[in-house]
Structure formats: structure tokens, C-alpha cells
Structure 1
Amino acid sequence: MDPARIDAVIDALAGEGWCVFEDLLPGAATAALAGECAALHASGELTAARIGREKVASTLRGDHTRWFEMDAPTAAQQPYVEALEALRLAFNRSLMLGLVESEAHYAVYPPGARYARHLDQPHQLEARVVSAVYYLNADWRAEDGG
């Protein structure tokens, strides 16, 4: 990853608390992720998303997910996992966040499905410090939200 782009993300997070980081991966790598996600979804290998420690189904969200095995990513997932690791290390170095690990999952939202407004720090736990969304749908636009 380009160190100047990582520095821009760090500056934005430190200043605004959020940022948009476009084109994290080359187009072919993003297409490989999208293809793998679509194939997993088509074969029924994504499951109804759950929330909380108890991992219960909820009307708060209507997506289907599959978590990455971060220590054994697929070939399609490898570039994304490497990018997350580079960002994690840079955040620790520059922002002293103490991030120990990263996690990632595919999420597919059928038409009309949603994930209600929520906090990524349930029950005041401080384990999750940075959250990211990487859109794989080619026709996504900022006005679509997310």
C-alpha cells in the first residue's frame, strides 16, 4: 500500500474520526472478492447475520454473512487481508491504538434488507476501535449510504 495514502487515512481518522479511502485494492482484486462473495451466496454458504455475544437473529439486520478465516484467507481474500494488516500496523504506529487483530466478513443485503443504526462497540466494550466497509458492488454510489 502506498504510504502517502495510509498517512492520509491516518490524518483523517485523527482529525475527523472517519474517512473515505477509495480504491483500497486494484480492480482485479476487488472483482475477485466480489466473485467469491457472489459464488458463496449463490451456493447458500452465507448465513443469516446475527448480533451480540449470544449471536442471535434480529430484525435489526437482514443481511447474510460469512466471516473470513484471517489466518487462512482464500486467494481472493489475501490482498484484502494484507491491506487490513498494513492499515492495522500503521494505525498502531501512528495513532497508538493497540489493535491486536483484524476481522472481516462478506455481507450480502437482499433488496429491501437493512442494518439498523448501531454502535460497533456493544455493551461499552472497547475491543472494536476502527470499523471499515469495503463495497464490492460495482454500481455503489455515495448517496446509497452504508
Structure 2
Amino acid sequence: MELSLSESPLLATHHPCVFETISRGLWQQGYVVLENAIPPSVFATLENNFLKLNENTFSEAGIGRGRDHTANNFVRNDKIVWLENDSELADWFDWIDTLKQELNRRLFLGLFDFECHYSIYKPGDFYKTHVDAFRGRSNRKLTMVTYFNRGWQPQDGGGLVIYGADKVTRITTVYPERNTLVLFLSEDFPHEVLTTHRDRYSLAGWFRVNNSTAEHIDPPL
């Protein structure tokens, strides 16, 4: 579902039409692609924070988590930096929290918390086909991506390709244009980032569910 809210006079920081559109897309097909869904003031906060960062603060991305985390340049070679919920990004995390509440209310997803990082892909970088969560083995429920690039063209590469369960059928390709928002169910959609031919800037995040038990605290402290 590729829609645009850029012309809507109703678009506001927490306007319910955005959340209704997102919820409907997730309910009907498990993914949604929206242009200008993040309110301009909120997106500006996020973008300005990103632009202030020095590339030297970014670290080589890896695969897996915790003890299983390893660098693997055959799978991905972007660089990332994780975001902290501080005062500078308060508007962003407030919007994320409202989105989480609205999705839980409308779709009963049980979303518990959110984590996200900025990514930089330099020319030649990619991320091979993968899933963000394995059934029964991860608490990532919903994947979210947005972008900071202007004037992106198909020949620039770097598209996000979302596949069907067979990992072959292309459902959609999303080019990383500024304030395009992508959400999809983490367990259900293999995806990849095609080789980019220019600097590609993005944010990737995950809404997680709480798998805590008497013996195990999750998400970890």
C-alpha cells in the first residue's frame, strides 16, 4: 500500500487518520508504505539529530544479537548507531509511543517497547535477504524504516525489496526517499537492501513484544 499524506490538511502530530491508514495496511496485507506519514515537525527533529552526527560515531553493523552478534560482510556492510530516548529526540519517541498505543488498540499486537538505529550505506553497500525475526525465537514483532535522502532515483540502487514467504516473489520495492515510512510484520516478510550507488541514509526500528517469564526478563535490562 503506497499512499501519500503530504497534501492532507488534516495531517498533525497525532492525527488518527495516519494511524488508521497504517493499521488498515497491516491488517489487510501485513505491510504498508506511506509517503510523508511522519509529521513534519517530528521528522525534522529526527533528521536534524541524524545530520549532526559524525560518520566516525557509526560502527560496523552485524547480524544476530547478544552472544550471537557477529560482523558478516557477505550479508551486510552498512554502519549504524543506536538511538537513545533523550530530550533531544523526545518528539520522535513520543510519536512512536503514540503509534505503538494506536496499533495495540486497533490490532491487539501486544507491542511493548521500541528500539531503533540510524544506518549509513556507502556506494557498494548492501544487506542480503533476511528476516528480522524467526517464529518463536525473537520478540521483534513489527519492523519500521524511514529515510533521509532527497531526489532518489531508481538508478541510484539501494531499494528495499520486500519478498513473499518463498524469498523469491517480489511484493514491492521501496526507494529510500525522504520521509517514506515502511512498516511490516517482522516474522512474515523476508527483505533485502539492494546495492546502493550513492550515500543512503535511513533509520530502522523494531517494535517488540514482552516475552518475560519468571526466569527471564525480556526485553533485557
Unaligned runs of 5+ in 2: 1-13, 161-221
Find the structure with the greater CA-based Rg. 2
Aligned-pair distance for 1:41? 3.5
Instruction: Tell me the secondary structure at the aligned position of residue 119 of structure 2.
Output: strand
Aligned residue-pair number: 142
Give yes or no for the alignment of 1:107 onto 2:119: yes
Give yes or no for the alignment of 1:36 onto 2:49: yes
Aligned-pair distance for 1:65? 0.6
Q: C-alpha distance in 1, partners of 2:108/2:76?
A: 32
**TM-score, structure 2 as length reference:** 0.58
Asked if the contact 1:25/1:79 (under 8 Å) is kept, the reply is no
The CA RMSD over aligned residues, in Å, is: 2.2
Residue 59 of structure 2: aligned partner: 47
CA-to-aligned-CA distance 1:1-55 (integer Å, 9 cap, x gap): 210111111011000111112223344543443343243243x111111110222
Instruction: Tell me the secondary structure at the aligned position of residue 25 of structure 1.
Output: coil
Residue 167 of structure 2: aligned partner: none
Query: Please, which of 70, 78, 91 is the counterpart of residue 63 of structure 1?
Result: 78
- Over the matched positions of the two proteins, sequence identity in percent amounts to 28
Q: C-alpha distance in 2, partners of 1:119/1:24?
A: 24
Asked if the contact 1:67/1:106 (under 8 Å) is kept, the reply is yes
CA-to-aligned-CA distance 1:66-116 (integer Å, 9 cap, x gap): 1111xx3351x3322222111111111111111110111101111110111
Give yes or no for the alignment of 1:12 onto 2:22: no
Query: Please, which of 127, 136, 146 is the counterpart of residue 139 of structure 2?
Result: 127
Q: Which amino acid in 2 is paired with 1:100? A: F
Residue 15 of structure 2: aligned partner: 2
Whose helix fraction is larger, Structure 1's or Structure 2's?
1
Whose strand fraction is larger, Structure 1's or Structure 2's?
2
Q: C-alpha distance in 2, partners of 1:39/1:121?
A: 31
**TM-score, structure 1 as length reference:** 0.84
116-125 or 8-17, which deviates more? 116-125
Aligned-pair distance for 1:144? 4.9
Q: C-alpha distance in 2, partners of 1:26/1:91?
A: 17
Unaligned runs of 5+ in 1: none
134-143 or 124-133, which deviates more? 134-143
Q: Which amino acid in 2 is paired with 1:55? A: H
